[in-house]
Structure formats: structure tokens, C-alpha cells
Amino acid sequence: MPPHGSALIFTYQEAFMFASRRIRWIAALVMATLSAPSFAEDTKIKFQLDWRFEGPAALFLVAKSKGYFTQEKLDVTIDAGNGSGNAVNRVASGAYDMGFADMAALMEFVGNNPTAPSKPVGVMMVYNDTPAAVFALKKSGIKTPADLAGKKLGAPVFDAGRRGFPVFAKANQLDNAKANWISMDPALRETMLARGDVDAITGFYFTSLLNLNARGIKDEDIVVMMFPNYGVKLYGNAIIASEAMVKQKPEAIKGFLRAFAKAAKDVMADPDAAAKVVKERDGLVDEKLEARRLKLAIASAIATPNAKAEGFGQISLPRLSLMASQVSDAYATKTRIDPAAVWNGTFLPSKAELNVFPK
């Protein structure tokens, strides 16, 4: 064969070898890709608030707005609520993974549902002092708890202050059996007090006070008896987690609480900026009003002397045990409430991360 033919045969051999090497390289690349670790998606958490998007909701909304949840590899959805009792029920049912609810409502659920397949637990205290209070107008002549005897008291049936009123009554030597309660929807509570349909109401301090202001009643014309100032040492709202989250996703709970603590520090340092985040979430809110509501919540329930003594997010076990006993009695639960069944503090961030109170 001529030299030209020999060169042609050599070219075919090289082509075959090149193709073989190419196939082996592609196969190795595919195998490496299949065996490489995949990046996990952010853990999804559905979170249920206790109430509407108002000032205090900034504690959670800021954590989302600033990307603190994302930094913890969490994809958090925050929904408005319509009461602590409903928040507890929704977390217990599995509809939500975590929530924000009054500790008394959580205790009531656990005490009344001893055989429930899933029971939420508190994992971080936020309202170290209950914001529940009794409100009256000065023109009524009511000045002290003793003046409530024989008066008409108004509140929704699920109101935390109304549910806890027997504890308030006992602490102030009132006969709770003689309390004359008038029930109404939350939207009518302050209106009925302003009109004189009831003599006093119970409600959260930072809710009822501002609602009365909105109805033309000035602070100086209102008598406020905050439960903590009258011998009632109940805890308020806490972050709660479902049993499934506790068992299956403990690291997600820890990440959520770390992000929340960072946001809480920001919110307390600048409540006005935090109120803007609430406005961004719900354009119908009054930003200045919600900034004031948030400041009242911080002063009356979050950054309190008790909270500073116990530490942000934490609880005192003797105090929680006393509350469990008081709620068992006041709410007449089916079983006595075991404080160990409603609280799990093992997910809390470090003390340094919980150092959130402004100096």
C-alpha cells in the first residue's frame, strides 16, 4: 500500500483511541456527579402567630426580613392568628410546626388532653410577664381590685385575662364566684367599656389601652390594673414547637431561636424601624400606632425586671410550677398540669446570644 494509505489507517486508530478515552472520561464524570453530596433545601417551617400583624409581630417579621432565618437554612412562613388557644390547637394538629401562644393556653391544652397524640411544648419565653390587665374608666369610681366586687366585667370568653381572672381574684382577696361576666367579640370589648355597657374589661395591656385611645379616651382617664403589679406572676406568650419538630428537627428549632434572638435584639434597639417592617407586611396598619404598641409590649412584658433576672427566653422552674398549679385550679383542667410536660429549654441559644436587652 502507498504511504498515503498507511497514514490513513493510523488516523483511524487514533480516532478510535480518542473516542474510547472520551467515553471513559464522560462515564467518570457522570459517576462523580451521582456520588457527590447534594445540597439540602432549607427546612420549611410554618409559624402561627397568636394575633394579627401588629407591633409585637415585628419580633418575628424582622427575623424574616433581615434574612436571619435564611442564614440558619430555614424557610419560614409566618401567618397571622386569632388567639392563643387556636395557635396551640393548630400546632398540636400538625397544621403548623411552631407558633406563638400564651403559656396558660398551652397548659390548658395539655391538662385537658392527656391522651392527645401530639402535645406542643414551650421552647422560648418571650412575654416573661403576662400582659393581661383589668381596665376601667376613672369616672366609674373603680380604683383598686376591691372596687370590682359586684361590677359587670367584660371580655371575650377566650381572653387570657378573663381566663386568668380567678388567679387575680385570689391574689387580691376577691370572691371570683361573684364575678359578673359579659361576653362579646374582641372588636366590641373597648367600645362597650367606653359606652358604659360594662364597668371593667380584661385584655392585653398594649391592646386594650390603644383601642381605648382610638375611641377618644385619654390615658389619664383610664385605670389600668396590670396583673403582674397585683400579685399575679403568670408567664405570658412563648414560642411553642410541635412534638414532631422536637423529635425530628431539633436543629431547626435551635436555628429558629437563634434567628429570633438576633431579631429581638434589633427590635428592642430600634422599635420604630421594626414597626416599618410590620407596615411592609400589612400595608393597612398604622405604623406610628404599632410602634407605640411595640414599645408598650417591650416595657410591660418583654424587657421587664423579671425577664432580666431570669434571662431572656428562659424561665424559673419554681415559678413555672406555681403557674401550672394556678392554671390547673383556675381553668379546672381534667388533669393536674406537669410543668415538665409544657416546657423544653434545651433548644435555647447560648447566654451570649440571649443577651438582647438594651443597656
3-state secondary structure 93-121: HCCCCEEEEEHHHHHHHHHHCCCCCCCCE
Average pLDDT, the chain: 92
Q: What average pLDDT does range 244-259 have in this prediction?
A: 98
pLDDT tens string 84-98: 999 999 999 999 999
Q: How far apart are CA 51 and CA 237, in angstroms?
A: 11
Q: Spell out where the chain has E strands.
A: 43-48, 74-79, 98-102, 121-125, 132-137, 152-154, 180-182, 200-204, 222-226, 237-241
pLDDT tens string 114-158: 999 999 999 999 999 999 999 999 999 999 999 999 999 999 999
pLDDT tens string 160-201: 999 999 999 999 999 987 889 999 999 999 999 999 999 999
Beta-carbon contacts of residue 308 (< 8 Å; ≥ 6 apart): 357
Report the b/e string of 79-114 with b at 16+ CB within 10 A: eebebbbbbbbbbbeeebbbbbbbbbbbbbbbbebe
Q: How far apart are CA 221 and CA 230, in angstroms?
A: 20
294 contacts 274 by C-beta, under 8 angstroms: yes
Instruction: Determine the 3-state secondary structure of 224 from DSSP.
Output: strand
pLDDT of residue 178: 83
Give all domains of the chain, ordered by start, each with its CATH number. 43-129+235-347 (3.40.190.10), 132-230 (3.40.190.10)
What cell numbers appear for 212 in the block? 381605648
pLDDT band, residue 14 (cuts 50/70/90): low
First CA to last CA distance, the chain: 96
